[in-house]
Structure 1
């Protein structure tokens, strides 16, 4: 790219990118065959978006300033593609940090997409994963739909398909979890557990392919229970009782975070009544309640988010 072409390009082009978050994971464990930690994503209607404004000021800045992981990724991408190490990166998100909702992963993927949009180059997903691995363990939010993903290796395990339309009625138990510290802590998982995690992965794959919401709920619930010895949820037993009382699909948690939720199928004939009753029950006990919807078409959702941004 000639300098005069770059000047013209920089003045006129603003890159935009977005990425959905996840409500923790449907399943998280260790694969018996590979021995790698893995998770199965649960896309929700919350997201991060990024805007990248290239310039030739020889300064690369990020707003807000604390989004240092994103500026690190931006630096590596610009260097790799021989682009000026300058510009302004603006990130916004409605995903809370340190809660296990993939806020950091969504920031990073949105950043990469914004820079790719600004300079109109092709960014192979494996190359993106390489850069992400150098920064931190990452959720599989760079893929559409539900994936089984080696988050420490930052590699795809399997693609499962689309999640049925579900609602997650949740609470935040409070505090924050540092994902890097959590992933660096070695928790005891015996071979029996690894076999069960592998079986759950296979059951979940079939359940998603068949859109079997009850089977999805059972796997998510079992994974939440098994995760208690890795990161305990204080309210898990109470949530299990509520799930049985109102015949919900089950529970799901942010395995390395602070959220726990009850899963409802939006096409259940008694959905509205269950949603009201479960919400009221949780509000009475815990106060603030959060309601999330799953994303069946993540690609379309991401495109709509970008279109809705100023100048999108």
Structure 2
């Protein structure tokens, strides 16, 4: 049931559409010796999509009504662009909330792109980051491809190019994590840990620049292990054993979420066998499991269907 059909105050000029992918936690997350909190994104083919219907009612609303972060951002962006702060946002998302899939960030980016689409304008990414920063800490999925991102400062450090074709055999340990509350807690890292994170970041950049999947997996796994002091995964040891038994690339985790997964190359000659065996073994741990695909197509600026 669409707003333009049920509410006569909506304009007859159609609507704007926008879309954003999520991210399966992070390939790497930590703190550098200069005290910068950083992460490396892992874009996946799960999306948030938005339709923006402008209106003359003088009110701005969002459906589902609980997506208040997206509503706040839309108001800020419309005001910045000198447009009426009025209309309706209809959001459909494949990304579960509180799981470490960047659901709220993807919602906000989809909203921004829907507004851009309707008014045929381009909002500078720095402006979007400024307004999102006023709402919550976030990752870097407003930038295309895999990026190194200062998620508390909302600042791009480095773009690492497109994501290689990968499959994630994912296990959800359950519950939800409040990202805002999680990032408000001060976490202590030793200087040696910060130096290791610096080395891991260098390794991850090298792995992606040279398509070295073995190094990528080793680095992501080490990041998952080091994160146990912050947001421990009960199944990490078991998932690592399964990964090793099937010959997976490595383990990846949602550092501030509930997911943990095994990474498999889509070009692996034993791909089908590894997927079947890995999924069966993960299911035996007693948690919900599913598959994710890495997102290798990052041209979503004017994505249309919702």
TM-score bracket for the superposition, by shorter chain length:
over 0.9
Equivalent residue for 1:120?
A: 120
Post-superposition Cα deviations, 1:5-43, rounded to whole Å, max 9, x if no partner, equal: xxxx9431411000000000000001223x111110000
Kept in 1: contact 2:172–2:287 (CA 8 A): no
Equivalent residue for 1:4?
A: none
Looking at structure 1, the residues matched to 83 and 70 of structure 2 have their Cα atoms a distance apart, in angstroms, of 17
Which protein is richer in helix relative to its size? 1
Q: Does 1:77 align with 2:74?
A: no
Kept in 2: contact 1:203–1:219 (CA 8 A): yes
Q: Does 1:14 align with 2:15?
A: yes
Equivalent residue for 1:233?
A: 233
Looking at structure 2, the residues matched to 144 and 85 of structure 1 have their Cα atoms a distance apart, in angstroms, of 28
4+ runs deviating over 3 angstroms: none
Looking at structure 2, the residues matched to 193 and 145 of structure 1 have their Cα atoms a distance apart, in angstroms, of 27
Looking at structure 2, the residues matched to 286 and 260 of structure 1 have their Cα atoms a distance apart, in angstroms, of 14
- 1:61-140 matches, within 5 Å, as 61-140=61-140
Looking at structure 2, the residues matched to 187 and 205 of structure 1 have their Cα atoms a distance apart, in angstroms, of 25
Q: CA deviation at 1:129?
A: 0.6
Looking at structure 2, the residues matched to 163 and 116 of structure 1 have their Cα atoms a distance apart, in angstroms, of 26
Q: CA deviation at 1:287?
A: 4.6
Equivalent residue for 2:7?
A: none
Equivalent residue for 2:215?
A: 215
1:144–1:112 CA distance, 2 compared to 1 (3 A): same
Kept in 2: contact 1:246–1:278 (CA 8 A): yes
282-291 or 249-258, which moves further after superposition? 282-291
Post-superposition Cα deviations, 1:237-259, rounded to whole Å, max 9, x if no partner, equal: 11111111111111000000000
- 1:180-195 matches, within 5 Å, as 180-195=180-195
Looking at structure 1, the residues matched to 122 and 63 of structure 2 have their Cα atoms a distance apart, in angstroms, of 25
Looking at structure 2, the residues matched to 91 and 215 of structure 1 have their Cα atoms a distance apart, in angstroms, of 37
Kept in 1: contact 2:173–2:288 (CA 8 A): no
Kept in 2: contact 1:91–1:107 (CA 8 A): yes
Q: CA deviation at 1:308?
A: 3.1
Looking at structure 1, the residues matched to 161 and 84 of structure 2 have their Cα atoms a distance apart, in angstroms, of 38
When the two structures are aligned, how many residues end up with a matched partner?
297
Equivalent residue for 1:266?
A: 266
Equivalent residue for 2:5?
A: none
Equivalent residue for 1:307?
A: 304
Post-superposition Cα deviations, 1:47-85, rounded to whole Å, max 9, x if no partner, equal: 101110011111111111111000100111111122111
Kept in 2: contact 1:11–1:55 (CA 8 A): no
Equivalent residue for 1:164?
A: 164
Q: Which runs of 5+ in 2 are unaligned?
A: 1-9
TM-score (norm 2): 0.94
Looking at structure 2, the residues matched to 196 and 276 of structure 1 have their Cα atoms a distance apart, in angstroms, of 35
TM-score (norm 1): 0.93
Looking at structure 2, the residues matched to 192 and 287 of structure 1 have their Cα atoms a distance apart, in angstroms, of 35
Equivalent residue for 1:288?
A: 288
Q: Does 1:141 align with 2:153?
A: no
Equivalent residue for 1:197?
A: 197
Kept in 1: contact 2:52–2:88 (CA 8 A): yes
Looking at structure 2, the residues matched to 128 and 303 of structure 1 have their Cα atoms a distance apart, in angstroms, of 14
RMSD of Structure 2 on Structure 1 (CA): 1.3
Q: Which runs of 5+ in 1 are unaligned?
A: 1-8
